[in-house]
Structure 1
Amino acid sequence: MNTPRFGLRARFMLAAGGALLVVLLLVVLMLTRQAAVQKEVLRSSGEVVSQVFDQSVRERGTALANALAEALVNPLYYSDLSAIGTLVRNTAGQKSVSYVLVHDHEGRLIHDGSFDVAGYGQAMSDPLAEAAVQADRMLVQSSPSILEVDLPIHIGDQRLGGVRVGMELAPVRVQEAMAMQALAARMEDARSRQMGWIYALMALLVGFAVVMMIYVQRTLVQPIRWLGDAAQRIERGDYRINVQATARRDEVGELLRTFDRMSQSIARHDREVRQMAYTDALTGLTNRLAFREALDHRLAKAKSANHGLALLFIDIDEFKRVNDTLGHEAGDDALLQFAQRIAAAVDQEGGEDALLARFGGDEFVILIDSGERIVAETATRLAERLVLELGRPLQVQRREIFLGSSIGITLFPEDAVDATALLKNGDIAMYQAKLAGKNCFRYYNRAMDHAVERRLHLEQELRGAWGRDELRLVYQPIFRTRDRVLAGVEVLLRWDHPTLGAIAPSVFIDVAEQSGLIQALGPKVLRLACEQATQWPRNHLGEELFISVNVSPRQLRNGDLVSEVENSLHASGLSASRLHLELTETAVIGDEMLAVSLLEKLHRAGVKVWLDDFGTGFSGLSHLRQVPVDGVKIDRSFVAEMERDPDDLALTTAIIAMAHALGITVVAEGVEQEAQFELLSQRGCDLVQGYWLGRPVEAGELVRMLRPGPQALAAD
């Protein structure tokens, strides 16, 4: 389930909403501020208007008071009440005048404009009277409803009295209110027009944001979302991407076109990678991965359809020698020819649904699915055809090579019901074919599992055999042919198991090689042999015996051989010249560059190197010039047939002559008869070993052989 994504569109909407919110807040703040300013303006305008109207009333009252005071001087001086009344009534009749009072200098009322002047001669008692009587100049005082202007009347220095003119404030306040209402109405009208513009601008801004959102959605978010979805599909392995045809000339358009090209390139590379992943690069056959998937599918189908399958496991015999002696190009050529022969046989004998695959290296597997319950007959015919076809010689680099094949056959459901067990059984059956002499086929049976179990048991027992002192060293004597004197010994390993008894070296050495235990056993054997050799006496000629120790190809390849040799020599005190190392011919030739480097280091340390089983390789003689060795051991198969087979005698003679020409010592092994010894001696073979000369002995017996006297062979 996809988790919610906070994508570009959501981000843009959030940004646009945020921007609109900020603008709205600014507008609200501006409107709030504008309302406050409007109120402040109205308040200030009210104050100004009030001041204007108050000033107008003041000025009018002052003018009326001044004019009346001047006019009342004479009538007041002569106490002409009639004239005073006339003047007072004229002034009182003016607009906004509330009252007019004339008083004497003591504050007694003289006239108020009425005809009967009811309060004449009485002291004025209203709140403003006292200040008005005492004023010696113009005085303006007010109450909530009246603005009064008081002005004293003098004639010369004599004060005659005074006049009080009261102006009504109510009409003024009404005019003020009307003026303020008009001002407020105008300001509200202006604010309404301004708000209309603001609302229009806000609507325009929102519309612009919506348009921009749609534009960004179509031109940016949508293409990027498509790119993201397409990238996720590619990540899931779905390369079926619809091409985005676009005429855009901007960066996004270029990105879309580039992504289209990239997706097509990825899809093409995916097809190529799948082809490479499921196809063997050399032969073009189905590879291990594809075969395993097909096998699982076929097994499920066979279970549901209730029919059988047969699996043939093929391994090329002696194929490693092709690579080791002729090179990997020759090995590839041989593999191709084998693959072609196998494919032709499968086409003819395997049926339409047969599946052929290269399982790795020199191994091939065939799955037969005939759609019937019994497929053993088809598997047998195919195996017979394969043994015949693969046993014919191959033409590789203008050479004729005979290899052959070992084939194991296992059946479903008789032998196994799952792919892993079926492949294991086929491998076991193939291994049994090799044990049976190679170039043949064997059907799997459950007894083979016991052989595998026994091999695993041997491996487990072998892991602790050295610590339990079950392994011991014996020494095969090696004699010089020219004087028949014991010159050295070959170090051999023996295993005496407490329950299984003596186990043949060919068995447990092979187990050690296959399991990798030889890499742990080899250095122990080397060190113990060096330690024991330092305790041996010299031969009757006063010479110290050399020891010849076999070295596994695994020891050669792991790169630690030189340090292991140096440590053994240092720990034991054995002279390096007394140590000879035996390497198989195929081990040296298989990785010639590494071998040359290691052998040169061993030579500098004073150790000598021999090639064991010499002559069994395809081109061993041609490699003697490249690989720095000190000696070669002629394989026992040539020595055994020298008397009866002229070819073996000729080849042995050639090996001795060529080796001597290169300054290389020759050792012959497997000398079982005196005639063989004589033939080798006549042809100049330097050293010999075999049961006719002496069987392998333990260290104590070897010491006894050296002590009595001469150890030369007695001539019969």
Structure 2
Amino acid sequence: MRPRLGLRGRFALLAAVVLLAVLAMVALVWHRQDAMHRDTQQLGLQSIQDFSSRRLLSHGRAATLQLADALVNPLYYFDLDAIGAAARGMLRQPDVSYVIVYDNEGQVIHDGSPDISTYGQAMSDPFAYEVLALDGAHVQSSDTLVDIAAPIRIGDQRLGGVRVGYSLAATRADERQVGGIMAGRLAEIGRSQLLWLGLLLAGMVALLAAIVVVLQRALVSPVRQLADAARAIEAGRLDAEVPASRRDDEVGDLMRAFAHMRDSLVRHDRDIRRMAYTDALTGLSNRLAFRELLDQRVAQGHGSARQLALLFADIDDFKRVNDTIGHDAGDEVLMQFSGRIRDVIDQVGGPGAELARFGGDEFVILLQGAVVEDDIRARAERLAEALVRELGRPITVHGRQVFLGISIGIALFPDDAGDVSALMKNGDIAMYQAKVAGKNCHRFYSRVMDQAVERRVRMEQDLRGAWERGELSLAYQPVYRLEDGRLAGAEALLRWRHPEHGPVSPSLFIDVAEQSGLIEVIGPQVLRAACMDARGWQRDFPAARGLFVSVNVSARQLRASDLANQVEAVLRETGLAPQQLHIELTETAVIGDEARVSSLLARLRSAGVKVWLDDFGTGFSGLSHLRRVPVDGVKIDRSFIADVLRDPDDLALTTAIIAMAHSLGIHVVAEGVEKEGQYAILRERGCDMAQGFWLGHPVSNQEFTRLLV
């Protein structure tokens, strides 16, 4: 007889079956939940890694391009101080490992270090090859580093490039930390779920459905919402909605932490954009922001026929402030100028006027015509005149009054240009013409200016190699002692006979040589030729023994670190006695770095070379330099000598210069003596030497030797 299964057994069996079913379901649910945790963790980490990489690349590219723009002027003028300041500013940014500014040959110009230990070295790292010929921003990366390079261009000319290396160590550490936090949070949630499922299991089948619902609401839904938000953030939608939660548990902590992370990313993105589009010193829009605005306004102008006026404003003689008072004072000047410009624009500029700082001492203003009939040219002229008046007033910096001024170039759209690049180029050309016209003024762009710039560029091209082709030569103007009327020496003057245009005025081509840097090549050649000719005089003519030759040295040559070495090498090569070489430099060349210049001149004088201050009396500080700079003599500028016979003030000033110089034990030469009466009165007042057309015109070396017979 088969045993009878009673109700208890059935109940027990049913309970066992239900329990087994619940256990199986719990096991299945637990297995599925564990897989979901792993997927969630992997998805979260992947989202964070992708976002971090995109953010670093976006920030790095924008910062590198901004740095490349900021380096255009310093690299064009080879201003290592400005290049170093920009590189060091970038190095101070988070995660930046290195900054390398290089030329078109791949040689390092600056690395942000104070001593530029890698200067002139060829880049040899694995990333160096691909950046030499790049046309735009270029990104290379390894497991630990992202290298972002950008070319530095001025117009179509490529000056070199800049590379910025971003370390991935901090990013990877943050990702590992976030991954660890997420894994820990999910593990805690898993343990909490296991306990919760155990309690639900005790409630048997009746509570099983409730457990599923609770789990669904408590974990799966929030995690999915967070995953959706993470994917949206990954796609760049930083304003994606993150579910809010008041839950006081791990899931609530995770949701709130995710919300805080999203807010932090939003703030960081806003800060990056502010840094990318705002000038750090003045708070004005920078070049990048202004270019985007100008693109937008020009695009709108094509459709509406509204006119635009672009004003390029450059502070006159701003470098003198940095050189004489310091860069802190220069920053204060820029802030005061930006405030004054902003005030004038508010008063005169009209609606829609925008101001930006392009870097250095250059500001740009955009005016937009309110209606089609609005005379934008007249409004731009009124604004320019108001700016010239306002910025011509002195400003007080560090307790000193500074007089500067501003040069403004104006280009109109669409009259002067039909696109943004041409408009900006023409505004820059007009500003340069304002500089040429005497500074502290404004000029409108015209087609003639293009021709002037083209002529200057052509002159620079023709000047290259002119010495080797025999087009450049030296003329010598005799210098006489006033005491006995005997020849004392000669000043070497550079002359250029162009093969097509004939003689070129020295005031034109020497200025081009100065600004282009060619003077650093031509200067040593002039020095060597003058010393060689002077040595020939003394060798071939007994009367020439003791005659000196004076050679002009430009401010750019004076700033070169090897001028003293050049002079000593030329003297050794030619055999000319050091005391028979006079180095002439202008007073303005000394201003700004008197300590270094004094050391250089002291070295030359200790070797026996004489040092003279040329064009004396036309500088900024007058006789004060005679107390601080070691010189052997001064040359009174011809502007004083010209009116010495009829202007009592010029006569008194000339007499005072002679007396003061003699009291300091230095000699005086008068330039521009063109009348016998000038010669007589200078001799009467005790002037030591003189030169000028009345005494002798500049002549070739062959003609000068006839004076020695």
Give the TM-score, by structure 2 length: 0.63
Percentage of pairs with the same residue: 58
CA–CA separation in structure 1 for the residues paired with 2:322 and 2:578:
33
Q: Give the superposition deviation at 1:326.
A: 4.6
Letter in 1 for 2:349: G
Number of the residue aligned with 2:49: 228
Number of the residue aligned with 1:275: 274
CA–CA separation in structure 1 for the residues paired with 2:38 and 2:272:
39
Change over 3 Å in CA distance of 1:221–1:630 after alignment to 2: same
Number of the residue aligned with 1:571: 573
Change over 3 Å in CA distance of 1:640–1:500 after alignment to 2: same
CA–CA separation in structure 2 for the residues paired with 1:570 and 1:254:
80
Matches within 5 A, 1:526-537: 526-537=527-538
Aligned to 2:551, the other structure's residue is in SS state strand
Q: Which residue of 681, 685, 688 maps to 1:686? A: 688
Count of matched residue positions in the alignment of Structure 1 and Structure 2: 509
More off after superposition, 536-545 vs 440-449: 536-545
Q: Give the superposition deviation at 1:563.
A: 2.9
Deviations 1:532-557 (A, max 9, x none): 11110488876421111112222223
CA–CA separation in structure 2 for the residues paired with 1:508 and 1:545:
29
CA–CA separation in structure 2 for the residues paired with 1:706 and 1:629:
28
Q: Is the 8 A contact 1:321 1:618 kept in 2?
A: no
Change over 3 Å in CA distance of 1:676–1:277 after alignment to 2: farther
CA–CA separation in structure 1 for the residues paired with 2:241 and 2:666:
73
CA–CA separation in structure 1 for the residues paired with 2:350 and 2:582:
57
Change over 3 Å in CA distance of 1:534–1:626 after alignment to 2: same
Q: Does 1:287 align with 2:108?
A: no
Matches within 5 A, 1:253-264: none
Q: Is the 8 A contact 2:474 2:700 kept in 1?
A: yes
Q: Is the 8 A contact 1:230 1:241 kept in 2?
A: no
Change over 3 Å in CA distance of 1:535–1:325 after alignment to 2: same
Change over 3 Å in CA distance of 1:269–1:224 after alignment to 2: closer
Change over 3 Å in CA distance of 1:331–1:206 after alignment to 2: closer
Deviations 1:32-80 (A, max 9, x none): xxxxxxxxxxxxxxxxxxxxxxxxxxxxxxxxxxxxxxxxxxxxxxxxx
Q: Give the superposition deviation at 1:417.
A: 1.0
CA–CA separation in structure 2 for the residues paired with 1:491 and 1:446:
39
Number of the residue aligned with 1:32: none
Deviations 1:490-514 (A, max 9, x none): 1111111122111100011111112
CA–CA separation in structure 1 for the residues paired with 2:550 and 2:255:
72
Give the TM-score, by structure 1 length: 0.63
Letter in 1 for 2:551: V
Number of the residue aligned with 1:469: 470
Number of the residue aligned with 1:353: 352
Aligned to 1:536, the other structure's residue is in SS state helix
Aligned to 2:550, the other structure's residue is in SS state strand
Letter in 1 for 2:552: N
CA–CA separation in structure 1 for the residues paired with 2:663 and 2:261:
65
Number of the residue aligned with 1:213: 35
- Bigger radius of gyration, 1 or 2? 1
Aligned to 2:341, the other structure's residue is in SS state helix
Q: Give the superposition deviation at 1:561.
A: 1.8
Deviations 1:323-380 (A, max 9, x none): 4445445544444443333322222222111112233333332211124344112112
Aligned to 1:303, the other structure's residue is in SS state helix
Change over 3 Å in CA distance of 1:204–1:232 after alignment to 2: same
Aligned to 1:534, the other structure's residue is in SS state helix
Letter in 2 for 1:350: G
CA–CA separation in structure 2 for the residues paired with 1:354 and 1:534:
64
CA–CA separation in structure 2 for the residues paired with 1:530 and 1:477:
15
Letter in 2 for 1:307: R
CA–CA separation in structure 2 for the residues paired with 1:668 and 1:249:
93
Number of the residue aligned with 1:179: none
More off after superposition, 474-483 vs 661-670: 661-670
Q: Which runs of 5+ in 1 are unaligned?
A: 1-198, 708-716
Q: Give the superposition deviation at 1:322.
A: 4.2
Q: Is the 8 A contact 2:478 2:696 kept in 1?
A: yes
CA–CA separation in structure 2 for the residues paired with 1:232 and 1:249:
31
CA–CA separation in structure 1 for the residues paired with 2:684 and 2:262:
78
Letter in 1 for 2:608: G
Number of the residue aligned with 1:191: none
Aligned to 1:488, the other structure's residue is in SS state strand
Number of the residue aligned with 1:387: 388
Q: Is the 8 A contact 1:223 1:256 kept in 2?
A: no
More off after superposition, 621-630 vs 404-413: 621-630
Number of the residue aligned with 1:639: 641
Q: Give the superposition deviation at 1:558.
A: 3.2
CA–CA separation in structure 2 for the residues paired with 1:263 and 1:559:
54
Number of the residue aligned with 1:412: 413
Change over 3 Å in CA distance of 1:657–1:563 after alignment to 2: same
Q: Give the superposition deviation at 1:694.
A: 1.8
Number of the residue aligned with 1:490: 491
Q: Give the superposition deviation at 1:203.
A: 9.7
Letter in 1 for 2:52: A
Matches within 5 A, 1:9-20: none
Deviations 1:421-454 (A, max 9, x none): 1122122223333443443332222122222221
Number of the residue aligned with 2:521: 520
Matches within 5 A, 1:545-584: 545-584=547-586
Change over 3 Å in CA distance of 1:292–1:623 after alignment to 2: farther
CA–CA separation in structure 1 for the residues paired with 2:24 and 2:53:
41
Q: Give the superposition deviation at 1:468.
A: 2.1
CA–CA separation in structure 2 for the residues paired with 1:533 and 1:668:
22
Q: Is the 8 A contact 2:308 2:368 kept in 1?
A: yes
CA–CA separation in structure 2 for the residues paired with 1:473 and 1:525:
8
Aligned to 1:461, the other structure's residue is in SS state helix
Q: Give the superposition deviation at 1:643.
A: 4.2
Q: Is the 8 A contact 1:315 1:363 kept in 2?
A: yes
Aligned to 1:483, the other structure's residue is in SS state coil
Deviations 1:205-263 (A, max 9, x none): 87764443244445x4455345335435634565658789999999x989996x98787
CA–CA separation in structure 2 for the residues paired with 1:334 and 1:645:
38
Matches within 5 A, 1:615-634: 615-634=617-636
Deviations 1:439-489 (A, max 9, x none): 333222212222222112211211132222111100122223333322221
CA–CA separation in structure 2 for the residues paired with 1:371 and 1:686:
67
Change over 3 Å in CA distance of 1:334–1:210 after alignment to 2: closer
Aligned to 2:537, the other structure's residue is in SS state coil
Letter in 2 for 1:424: K
Number of the residue aligned with 2:673: 671
Matches within 5 A, 1:67-146: none
Q: Is the 8 A contact 1:537 1:706 kept in 2?
A: no
Q: Give the superposition deviation at 1:299.
A: 1.0
More off after superposition, 294-303 vs 359-368: 359-368
Number of the residue aligned with 1:508: 509
Deviations 1:658-679 (A, max 9, x none): 4444433333322333443444
Change over 3 Å in CA distance of 1:244–1:201 after alignment to 2: closer
CA–CA separation in structure 2 for the residues paired with 1:632 and 1:276:
51
Aligned to 1:285, the other structure's residue is in SS state coil
RMSD (Å) for aligned C-alpha atoms: 3.7
Number of the residue aligned with 1:427: 428
Q: Does 1:364 align with 2:185?
A: no
CA–CA separation in structure 2 for the residues paired with 1:541 and 1:502:
32
Matches within 5 A, 1:152-163: none
Matches within 5 A, 1:246-257: none
Letter in 1 for 2:692: G
Q: Is the 8 A contact 2:314 2:431 kept in 1?
A: yes
CA–CA separation in structure 2 for the residues paired with 1:688 and 1:356:
53
Q: Give the superposition deviation at 1:705.
A: 0.4
Matches within 5 A, 1:171-190: none
